[in-house]
Amino acid sequence: MRTVVFLLLIITSPASFASMLVLGDSLSAGYGIEQDRGWVNLMRERLKNSGYTLEVVNASVSGETTSGGLSRLPGLLETHQPSLVLIELGANDGLRGTPLEIVRANLQQLVELSQSAGAKVLMIGNRLPPNYGPQYTQAFFGLFEEVAQQKQTALVPFLLDGVASDWDLMQDDGYHPRAEAQPKILDTVWSNLEPLLAP
């Protein structure tokens, strides 16, 4: 009796993700600049040019808080079923002086919901202006690393690293980066994102 063996070779693209969800605030929504020049859109273009075929869903909303993101995330996960979630929230909580235990709990739930849906998570941290006092600002900055370590997620420590300190790259309000800063922001995110894209 002759046995015939078929060998099936499946050639895939570099990406193993169907979609990526960006859940952020005005820093990811492209506040004050043309939408196509924001770092999320630049990331979409870089992914395409690098051979990744995943869809990028930018669900960022200006003024969004961790509580607001938490209320929207279940529906976004159900609709888009992302394999990777970028969480860039917390800055507006900090600017409003939200108690840190609330911010921490919300960030933890955002990560848990994403992971429970089968997605990898990239936590994106931020800093507050120094006028909020060293005790609060330092503890706030430390929240992101704390949650990332606890939940074993990848981490971008500071989204505006090298940008927030350069006034030529910031808009007049001092909070939002100009279009010229967006490629630098993307580079900051990309160095932590790229390892997650490996098949």
80 is catalytic: no
Burial class (CB in 10 A: 0-12, 13-18, 19+), 132: middle
The one catalytic residue in 13, 25, 26, 93 is: 26
Catalytic residue (one of 28, 80, 114, 176):
176
Note if 25 is an active site residue.
no
Neighbours of 30 (CB within 10 A): 22
The number of angstroms, rounded, from the C-alpha of 3 to the middle of its chain's C-alpha atoms is 52
Instruction: Exactly one of 28, 161, 173, 187 is catalytic; name it.
Output: 173
Catalytic (active-site) positions: 26, 173, 176
